[in-house]
C-alpha cells in the first residue's frame, strides 16, 4: 500500500512534468509565431530571361525558367527555417543536413516537406515574388 506522502510526491512529480511540457509547447509556439513579415522581391524582365540554370535572388529565393514561365522556390528549410544553399544535387541545409532536389523535393534529412513554391506575379516591368 502506498503512503499518503509517496502518493503526493508522485502527484507533484507528474505535475512538474506536465508544466514543463506545457512550457516547451508554449515557447515553441511563440517562436514559430515570430515569422518575418512578407517581403516583395522584384525581378526585372531582362533578369528573368537570362536565368539559364537558375539563380539565387534576394537571398531567400531561387528562380529558374521553365516552359510555363519562371518558377520560384523559397530557400527556407522546412525543418527549422535555416537558409539552404545550392549544391550539386539541388540544395543542402547547413544546419541539420536536410537535402533537396533541384525542384524542391526532399531527398534526405529531417525536413518534413519540400521547399515551398513562391508565387510570381507578372507586372509591366518584370515579375514580383512575395516571400
Domain hosting residue 15, numbered range:
1-34
Same domain, 21 and 69: no
Same domain, 65 and 2: no
Same domain, 54 and 115: yes
Tens of pLDDT, residue by residue, the chain (131 residues) = 788 898 999 999 999 999 999 888 888 777 665 555 556 777 766 665 565 567 776 668 888 877 777 788 888 998 888 889 888 888 999 888 899 998 889 999 898 999 998 888 888 877 777 65
Same domain, 49 and 70: yes
Per-residue model confidence (pLDDT) at position 128: 73
Same domain, 7 and 69: no
Same domain, 45 and 2: no
pTM score over 0.85: no
Class of residue 127 by CB neighbours under 10 A (exposed 0-12, middle 13-18, buried 19+): buried
Per-residue model confidence (pLDDT) at position 98: 92
Number of domains within the chain? 2
Who contacts 60 (Cβ-Cβ below 8 Å, separation ≥6)? 39, 74, 75, 76, 83, 131
Which CATH number is 120's domain given? 2.102.10.10
Amino acid at each position: 500500500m502506498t503512503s499518503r506522502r509517496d502518493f503526493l510526491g508522485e502527484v507533484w512529480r507528474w505535475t512538474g512534468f506536465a508544466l514543463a511540457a506545457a512550457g516547451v509547447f508554449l515557447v515553441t509556439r511563440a517562436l514559430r509565431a515570430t515569422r518575418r513579415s512578407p517581403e516583395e522581391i522584384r525581378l526585372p524582365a531582362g533578369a528573368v530571361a537570362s536565368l539559364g540554370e537558375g539563380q539565387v535572388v534576394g537571398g531567400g529565393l531561387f528562380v529558374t525558367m521553365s516552359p510555363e514561365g519562371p518558377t520560384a522556390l523559397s530557400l527556407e528549410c522546412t525543418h527549422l527555417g535555416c537558409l539552404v544553399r545550392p549544391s550539386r544535387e539541388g540544395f543542402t541545409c547547413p544546419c541539420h543536413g536536410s537535402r533537396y532536389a533541384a525542384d524542391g523535393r526532399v531527398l534526405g534529412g529531417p525536413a518534413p516537406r519540400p521547399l515551398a513554391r513562391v508565387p510570381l506575379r507578372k507586372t509591366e516591368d518584370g515579375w514580383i515574388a512575395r516571400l
